[in-house]
Structure formats: structure tokens, C-alpha cells
Chain A
């Protein structure tokens, strides 16, 4: 069964996932402008294909699959991907943070930056699986569909990715609870 999307369907299929798609694009491309183009292209293709989407489809994992396919098709065509290091000037996350205590606010920002840097140090396959599971909360089966691999592979790769990331974040893990607790008191 297919359905004709109305304005609100198209809108709801789009904007609510934009941060996740942008994060995924940055994790794949390591390049801000390429990530932005990739996200925009994803929406353009998604809108074109919306009429063929089944009513019971998982729009979120569908969008992530489109983004990944566009990126790897581009890679295949270009053969070389520009790997420009992120310069740390990414837009500050527009989250309403605890305001009363600037120290707690500062600790949260530092921790966030450490997590970003640690993730960007991981190999590409680990970066994307961490993003899809820990940040987008997709199920193993949904991730398997996006990555086009068996769910068992997702499980084992995710375990290895977590182990690597945990190692990179061991210092943060050791101190964050103590510091956060102290900051909030």
C-alpha cells in the first residue's frame, strides 16, 4: 500500500530528523559543507520518493538509508573522499542547559566536546554504528537494514565500537560522575 503524502506528512518526515541526519553526515564525511549538501540531497531524494513509501514504513531509518546510499555512491564515483578535519566550530548545541550554575554548564559542554572528539577518532564503521545506536536509538534490525548487513554483524561490531570508544573516554568516565555531582551540588 502506498500513500500520497500531504504537507504535514512531508514536514514531519523531515525536520524532526535533521539533527540526527546532520550528525550522521558529519560522522561519515568529516566535512561540514559536504555534510550539509548530503543532508539536503537526502531530503530532496526522499521527497521525490515519498509517493512510493509504504504507509507502515519506518521513515527515520529510510532517511538514514538514503543518506548513506548517496554518500557511498558519491564515494564510489569520486574514489576519493575529502577528509578535512573538523575544526571544532560546529554549531553549539541549542539545548536549554541548567542555567543557575555556570560551572555545571561548563562541565556539560566540556564533556560533550570530549565525546565528539572521541567519536571522531574512531574508524568510520565504528563511528556510524555508535551514532545510529547510541544517538539515534535505532534497533539492531533497523541498523542492519541501513548498513545492509546481518543483525549479528551489528551486534559484534557495536560491541567492538563501544569497547574502543570506552577506552578513548575512560578518563571522562572516571571523572564525569564525580564532577557532575559536585557541580550540581
Chain B
């Protein structure tokens, strides 16, 4: 019996991807015949879309992010501060043994020096990680918005030169896409689709879109003054260090060069090195990854 009463609750299950097998087949069959359920489904999807556009509901403050990273760092490398502490104490030992100042608070000074030295070592690292994490999160959210159709392209072109010219004067940094790299057999694994401007930290950043068979790929570019490439699996090629991260089902590769920081986001299910080779497989530099 394919009635709307029977299938009413299936609309929500369908929207939530909780239907499978025969139930899913039956519901799809019912949908094709039932205008009322199709309308209800449309309403539910509209409602879900409204909520999805508001993701994330809140963004964790950078300070919290830094605190968590610091906690992780301390927990993972408990031995490191101890080792460093021993080295510092060893270095300070001769001074501590100098006679003539028996009442001087050496222990207090040593503790201060130690804290200062640890701060010098770890605080810049924590700040870099926090900046890198923020940029990656932004690249990921931007990519998702593009996939959802919320970031329509402002220029559609497969020419890197045309996109470079379009960005001239629009972004507060000198942005040039490399000209098309010829491949030995003339085949390219991906093609450039277009680009648009996006806001990042109160300024403009460049978003370039690529397509590869069924995959959509985006490249977010901004000045290295506001973004950092750091962490993840590191791949070195031609003097550059690429940072490969796997986040919530997406690949994010970040790198910095010539005053700019790049974040390339895709859904390719590959390792760090293979991820590079997906685009570079037919290029002359494929052996450099």
C-alpha cells in the first residue's frame, strides 16, 4: 500500500540518508507518483539547506584553538620539555655554582628563564598552527559553498592568462596563475573552469575553480600575511613544501611561495603524493613528487 500516510515519515529519513535497500527503492517509486510527498520533500530540503548554509553554527576562537593545540603538543611530547629543561639546567649549572651570591634567588631566575625559553620555542609554533588551521578551515568551507552552488563564478574561462588579467587590481596582492603547462601527450588531467573573489579576514582573496572528470577542485589564494601553510604530511618539490591534510573527507593541500599562500581542496581519495600526481601525471614534473 503506497499511501502518503505510510510514507510520510520516510520523507525525513530520506532527507537524512537513513533509508536504504528496499525501503529506499519503495520510497523513490512512491515519490515519482506522489506530488504531495514531492512537495513535502522539497520543503524539508529547503529547510535543511537553510540550516546547512549556516554551518558552522559557531567558530571556535583562535585562542581556544591555540590552547587545544598546546594541550595536544604537551600531551604528545611530554618528554620534550623535560629534555629541554635538563639541557637548560645543564647550561645554567656553572652559573648556579658561582660562589659569592649565596642569597640570590637562582632557582626563581632559572624557572623564569626556563618558562621564557619554552615560550620562545612553543608559542610561535602554536600561533603558526592556529593560523594554518584557520586558513584550511576557510578553504574547506569555501569549497563546500562552491559545491553547494552558493559561490557562483564571476569569470568562466579555461585560460590562466584571462583569469590572471581578471584578478589584476581586484585583489590586494600580485596574483598570477602559471601559464598552461604542456604535457608530453597533450592530455591534461584537469581543466580550469573559472574564478571569483571571496572575502577572507576582511580582505579579498582569489578563488579559482577546476574540474576533473566528476570532481570539482578549488584553489584559495591570499597573501601570506594573513594565512599560513603548516602541518600535515609534508611533500617537497622544486624547493616548495606542500602540506597535505585530510579533513572530513576532503584533501586540503597548502603551500606558500612568492608572498602568497595557497589551499587546494578536493575530494580525491588518495595519499599525499598520489594526490599531487593526479593533476601532474601527464606533466614533465611528475617525477618530482
Contacts and interface: CB of A to CB of B under 8 A. Distances in A.
Given A96-B198, A100-B196, A115 B61 contact: no
Interface string B128-162: 00000110011101100100001110100000000
Interface in B60-118: 60-61, 64-65, 67-69, 71-72, 75-77
B248 interface: yes
Contacts of A94: 59, 134, 137-138, 141, 200-201
Contacts of A12: 245-247
A96 B72 contact: no
B57 A131 contact: yes
B18 interface: yes
Q: Dominant SS at the B interface?
A: mixed
Interface size class of A (residues with CB under 8 A): 35 or more
Interface of A: 7-8, 10-12, 14-16, 18-23, 26-27, 36, 39-40, 43-44, 47-48, 90-100, 105, 108, 111-112, 115-116, 119, 130-131, 133-135, 139-140, 155, 158-159, 162, 166, 169, 172-173, 176-177, 184
A139 B138 contact: no
Interface of B: 9, 12-13, 16-18, 46-48, 50-61, 64-65, 67-69, 71-72, 75-77, 133-134, 137-139, 141-142, 145, 150-152, 154, 196-201, 204-205, 207, 220, 231-233, 245-248
A26 B145 CA distance: 24
A134 B47 CA distance: 10
B142 A23 contact: no
Contacts of A133: 16
9 pairs of A and B residues whose beta carbons are closest in the complex: A96-B198, A22-B60, A96-B142, A23-B57, A19-B56, A115-B54, A99-B197, A134-B51, A47-B75
Given A19-B137, A162-B12, A166-B47, A96 B53 contact: no
A47 B204 CA distance: 38
Contacts of A96: 138-139, 141-142, 145, 198-200, 205, 207, 220
Contacts of A155: 9, 12-13
B199 A105 contact: yes
